[in-house]
Amino acid sequence: MPTEKPSDRPSPPPLPATSAVISRGTSLLNVWTLIALAALLAAAMQWDYILSCRYDFLRIDCIAAGIAGGIGAAACLGGAMHFTALATPGTWWLWKLLLLVQKRLLMIAQLLVMAVCVFAAGLIVFHMDIPGSQAALQNWRPKAGQAVLMY
């Protein structure tokens, strides 16, 4: 029985050019789906902030939910950066430039979301008042020499 060498085997047929375009298209579809999900989680974080400012008894629960939403939004933005990197090779130079700028903007958004999460964790750990809440406004004192406008 003769043994086959790897060079004797027929090579698989080349993929059509449209498969690369479809692959980039699905990557970009995943990018925008993850960005939309991150935006929804950011809106939920905003709603948690509003509730925690309005009701003192929901303070810890809403801050914890905001932290969880922020971690989820950061994960979605990280996934969007990954799929942006998958869609970048083999594209026209202008699209490549735009996708690289988009990746950098996603990175900045991810850093900002995580900074908000760290700030919220600091509010819980150090028992600080939430900025904008009634407790924070009642405890505010003007500095020496600072003019206070009364309406």
Whether 34 shows a pLDDT value over 60: the answer reads: yes
Domain count, the chain: 1
pLDDT at residue number 21: 66
Range of the structural domain that residue 105 is part of: 20-130
3-state helix, strand, coil in the chain (%, to 5): 70, 0, 30
- Whether residue 93 contacts residue 100, with contact meaning beta carbons closer than 8 Å, is answered with no
**Quick one: pLDDT at residue 148?**
60
The reply to whether 92 falls in a domain is yes
Determine the pLDDT at residue 113: 96
The answer to whether residue 142 sits within a structural domain is no
Residue 118 lies in a domain: yes
Whether residue 124 is contained in a domain is answered as yes
| 72 belongs to a structural domain | yes
Between CA 90 and CA 11 the distance in angstroms is 23
pLDDT reading at 17 higher than 60: no
Q: By mean pLDDT, which of 43-47, 92-96, 113-117 is the weakest?
A: 92-96
Please report whether residue 120 resides in a domain: yes
Residue 74 has pLDDT above 60, yes or no: yes
Domain-located, residue 90: yes
Is the pLDDT score of 128 beyond 90? no
Q: Let me know if residue 135 belongs to a domain.
A: no
Mean pLDDT value of segment 74-82: 95
